[in-house]
């Protein structure tokens, strides 16, 4: 069989937003694939009961859709040449199209005078619209053509000038400054061709939930700086009234969301007094009339997406070494509903059936169904399987060790063509976060390294997700217990696999994984090469430039920069760069506003000043998610830079 080559990721397809049709007879999913223009195509595919998935769209821009009825999809796109011309001239607008599963071309339904990102059907011809808006132009959605033209001309005149009067002043994944940009909610009445705002111009909407004719949404209105505390508002479709139904009273975790099971209003939040901003949210019922909260359940669970289905709130939660589906029932019980070992990217529920897009074992993204009564799972797609069957891919072999009164989960991948009588180099890779987690699933970079003749190993040290608040607690301890867990895991891997040459080990990681890479080279010389990617170097400077600086950094450091100055410095890898001797490569996207270029270059300068072999590769226009969402050519260069660096020092 052929080895998994460095550029084979271009042939893999990612899946998202999998859903059942309203009658449960069809399943649709968004498919992401690399194109010949060094970008990505997003297309919608669908499958009828017992059939195969077939591609429905081909324009390549259909990344958001909804079911308008049992046989019709609606999606957002700019297909109309006249709309494209207006957009090129600087006007903000979005087209909505209907597409029948029975065949035929997509038909334009309407054009929205805003930059819409998502539609949700409220009633026949009535839609909830989520849009990104400029708060300095609150009435843009109702301007006439001349007024909109003038706005575009003014923006062009001032394109080289940027006024920043609030923070965050940029957002990772969004090019340029984002001062005064807000996510707003609108209601669009197709019959009247009327767009009505639900939220205020300066209100940043974080989540929404619809119950009957009422739209509940959480977020905050701010100037100067964003607020951690999120309030809940309600927009009444019948009266047009927009009122605050809950003023935040001390909730301080980062995940504060309004949700519903279809009949009740939930506020999912935690005080954050014990475990900080990463504390897992509890379930409260909100009384929209009095604004009072009633605690329904304390749930020590991290979750990513939720949706109301079948009279319950369904959740995609982190479950130690996997994602799984959980159901918060009418009886206020949180029940685990699947026994999945892998990743869940998106999901939907219909009756006793669940559908997910996800990864498991040696599979890259596929669509799976679950019988929720029997627990039986079935793969119903072949978006990547046939391609990977022709490739020699390496299994993730689980290894759990004891460390710090906990069990630490990890995995080892053997090199391609493994011979137990030979010795091999190895690469330790560290996940992001710190509240991230590996699930032992298909990793493009890891498979590339294994194919190139490396052992690959990785683990979930203290601070990782999926094990509850106590295990995730890492505040003020970065580089201590987590470092010890990783080193303990490394020691055990070397014991279990004598084929690994301890003198030919490399280390790499992205984000927090980059932080740990920087920390490791300042505390040990056991690794002979390092690749630090999108990394944290200096907590002091990160506080000043990151898009999450005012929330994330003080929380992780246990207080403000003025109160905990020494902690900020003591936990910074830059402090220990004087000890480093490991040749180190730095991968740095120039539009990474999470872990900024200015941070990474400090470590580069320190190592070069010490005479340590150092190389930094920067990527124009790409952001913190370079290795997963960046331009294909950038991803390939990033993968190859790390592999070549390891090869030159470990082989």
Task: Report the CATH number at residue 488.
Answer: 3.40.50.1820
Q: Is the pLDDT of residue 279 over 90?
A: yes
pLDDT score, position 527: 98
pLDDT score, position 455: 98
With bands split at pLDDT 50, 70 and 90, how would you rate the model's confidence at 173? confident
Which are the contacts of 116, defined by CB distance < 8 A and separation ≥ 6? 76, 94, 96, 129, 130, 131
pLDDT score, position 323: 96
pLDDT per position as a tens digit, 326-336:
999 999 999 99
The answer to whether the CB of 112 falls within 8 A of the CB of 93 is yes
Compute how many other C-beta atoms are within 10 angstroms of the C-beta atom of residue 561. Answer: 18
467: left (phi over 0), alpha (psi -120 to 50) or beta: alpha
Which of 224, 251, 278 delimits the end of a domain?
251
Counting the structural domains of the chain, the total is: 2
Q: Is the pLDDT of residue 304 over 90?
A: no
CA atoms within 13 A on the CB side of 167: 12
For residue 143, being part of any structural domain is answered with: yes
Which of 251, 286, 314 delimits the end of a domain?
251
For residue 43, being part of any structural domain is answered with: no
How much of the chain, in percent, has pLDDT values that exceed 90?
A: 97
What b/e sequence results for 595-628 when a residue is b if at least 16 CB atoms lie within 10 Å of its CB, and e otherwise?
bbbebbebbbebbeeeebebbbbebeebbbbbbe
What are the residues facing 259 on neighbouring strands?
Answer: 266
With bands split at pLDDT 50, 70 and 90, how would you rate the model's confidence at 495? very high
Geometric angle at alpha carbon 38, from 33 and 42, rounded to 5°: 30
SS3 state of residue 128 = strand
For residue 95, being part of any structural domain is answered with: no
How much of the chain, in percent, has pLDDT values that exceed 70?
A: 100
pLDDT score, position 562: 96
Rounded alpha-carbon distances, angstroms, from residue 382 to 58, 106, 387? 19, 25, 9
For residue 145, being part of any structural domain is answered with: yes
Distance in angstroms (rounded) separating the CA atoms of residues 524 and 536: 18
Give the H or E element holding residue 615: strand 614-619
Q: At what angle do helices 512-521 and 481-496 cross, to 10 degrees?
A: 80
Distance in angstroms (rounded) separating the CA atoms of residues 471 and 301: 12
pLDDT score, position 523: 98
Mean pLDDT in residue range 113-127: 97
pLDDT per position as a tens digit, 545-598:
999 999 999 999 999 999 999 999 999 999 999 999 999 999 999 999 999 999
Start-to-end C-alpha separation, the chain: 24
pLDDT score, position 175: 83
Nearest to 195 by CA among 121, 231, 142: 142
Domain span at residue 132 reads: 115-251
pLDDT per position as a tens digit, 433-450:
999 999 999 999 999 999
Q: Is the pLDDT of residue 50 over 90?
A: no
For residue 410, being part of any structural domain is answered with: yes
pLDDT per position as a tens digit, 509-545:
999 999 999 999 999 999 999 999 999 999 999 999 9
For residue 271, being part of any structural domain is answered with: no
393's tokens:
């891919």
The residue count of the chain comes to: 651
pLDDT score, position 624: 95
Mean pLDDT in residue range 290-317: 94
With bands split at pLDDT 50, 70 and 90, how would you rate the model's confidence at 226? very high
Cis peptide before 434 (omega within 30 of 0): yes
For residue 61, being part of any structural domain is answered with: no
CA 624 to chain centre: 11
pLDDT per position as a tens digit, 386-433:
999 999 999 999 999 999 999 999 999 999 999 999 999 999 999 999
SS3 state of residue 34 = strand
SS3 state of residue 467 = coil
Compute how many other C-beta atoms are within 10 angstroms of the C-beta atom of residue 345. Answer: 19
For residue 317, being part of any structural domain is answered with: no
The answer to whether the CB of 356 falls within 8 A of the CB of 346 is yes
pLDDT score, position 203: 98
Q: What is the pTM of this model?
A: 0.96
Q: Is the pLDDT of residue 176 over 90?
A: no
Distance in angstroms (rounded) separating the CA atoms of residues 512 and 537: 10
Nearest to 435 by CA among 473, 395, 403: 473
Which of 234, 251, 268 delimits the end of a domain?
251
Nearest to 148 by CA among 139, 157, 160, 135: 139
With bands split at pLDDT 50, 70 and 90, how would you rate the model's confidence at 103? confident
């Amino acid at each position: 069989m052929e080895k998994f080559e460095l550029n084979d990721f271009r042939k893999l397809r990612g899946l998202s937003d999998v859903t059942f049709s309203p009658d449960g007879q069809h399943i649709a999913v968004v498919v992401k694939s690399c194109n010949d223009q060094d970008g990505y195509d997003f297309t919608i595919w669908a499958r009828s009961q017992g059939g195969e998935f077939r591609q429905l769209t081909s324009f390549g821009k259909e990344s958001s859709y909804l079911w308008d009825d049992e046989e019709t999809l609606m999606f957002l796109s700019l297909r109309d040449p006249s709309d494209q011309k207006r957009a090129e001239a600087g006007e903000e607008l979005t087209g909505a199209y209907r597409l029948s599963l029975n065949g035929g071309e997509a038909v334009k339904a309407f054009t929205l005078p805003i930059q819409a990102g998502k539609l949700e059907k409220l009633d026949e011809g009535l839609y909830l619209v989520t849009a990104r808006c400029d708060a300095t132009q609150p009435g843009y959605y109702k301007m006439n053509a001349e007024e909109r033209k003038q706005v575009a001309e003014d923006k062009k005149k001032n394109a080289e000038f940027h006024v920043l009067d609030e923070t965050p002043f940029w957002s990772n994944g969004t090019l340029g400054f984002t001062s005064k940009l807000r996510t707003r909610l609108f209601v669009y009445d197709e019959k009247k061709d009327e767009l009505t705002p639900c939220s205020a111009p300066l209100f940043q909407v974080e989540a929404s939930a619809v119950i009957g004719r009422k739209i509940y949404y959480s977020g905050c209105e701010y100037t100067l700086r964003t607020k951690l505390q999120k309030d809940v508002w309600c927009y009444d479709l019948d009266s047009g009234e927009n009122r605050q139904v809950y003023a935040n009273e001390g909730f301080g975790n980062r995940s504060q969301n309004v949700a519903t099971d279809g009949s009740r209003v939930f506020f999912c939040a935690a005080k954050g007094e014990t475990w900080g901003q990463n504390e897992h949210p509890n379930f409260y019922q909100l009384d929209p009339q009095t604004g009072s909260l009633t605690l329904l359940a304390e749930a020590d669970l991290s979750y990513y997406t939720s949706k109301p289905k079948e009279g319950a709130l369904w959740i995609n939660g982190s479950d130690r070494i996997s994602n799984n589906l959980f159901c918060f029932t009418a009886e206020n019980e949180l029940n685990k509903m699947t026994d999945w070992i892998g990743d869940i990217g998106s999901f939907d529920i219909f009756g006793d059936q669940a559908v997910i897009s996800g990864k498991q074992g040696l599979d890259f993204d596929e669509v799976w169904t679950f019988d929720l009564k029997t627990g039986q799972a079935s793969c119903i797609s072949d978006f990547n399987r046939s391609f990977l069957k022709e490739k020699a891919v390496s299994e993730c072999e689980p290894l759990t060790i004891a460390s710090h009164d906990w069990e630490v989960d990890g995995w080892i991948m053997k090199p391609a063509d493994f011979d137990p009588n030979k010795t091999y180099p190895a690469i330790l890779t560290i996940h992001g976060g710190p509240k991230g987690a590996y699930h032992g699933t298909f990793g493009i970079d890891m498979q590339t390294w294994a194919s190139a003749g490396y052992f690959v190993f990785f683990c979930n040290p203290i601070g990782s997700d999926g094990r509850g608040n106590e295990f995730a607690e890492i505040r003020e301890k970065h580089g201590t217990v987590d470092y010890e867990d990783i080193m303990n895991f490394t020691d055990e891997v070397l014991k279990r696999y004598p084929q690994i040459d301890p003198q030919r080990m490399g280390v790499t990681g992205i984000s927090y994984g980059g932080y740990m890479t920087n920390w490791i080279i300042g505390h040990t010389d056991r690794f002979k090469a390092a690749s630090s990617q999108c990394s944290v170097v200096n907590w002091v400077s990160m506080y000043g430039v990151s898009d999450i600086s005012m929330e994330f950094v003080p929380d992780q450091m246990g207080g403000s920069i003025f109160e905990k100055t020494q902690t900020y410095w003591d936990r910074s890898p830059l402090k220990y760069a004087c000890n480093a001797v490991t040749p180190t490569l730095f991968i740095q996207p120039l539009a990474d506003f999470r872990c900024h270029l200015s941070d990474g270059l400090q470590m580069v300068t320190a190592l070069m000043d010490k005479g340590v072999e150092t190389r930094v590769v920067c990527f124009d226009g790409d952001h913190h998610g370079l290795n997963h969402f960046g331009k294909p050519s950038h991803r390939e260069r990033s993968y190859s830079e790390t592999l070549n660096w390891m090869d030159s020092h470990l082989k």
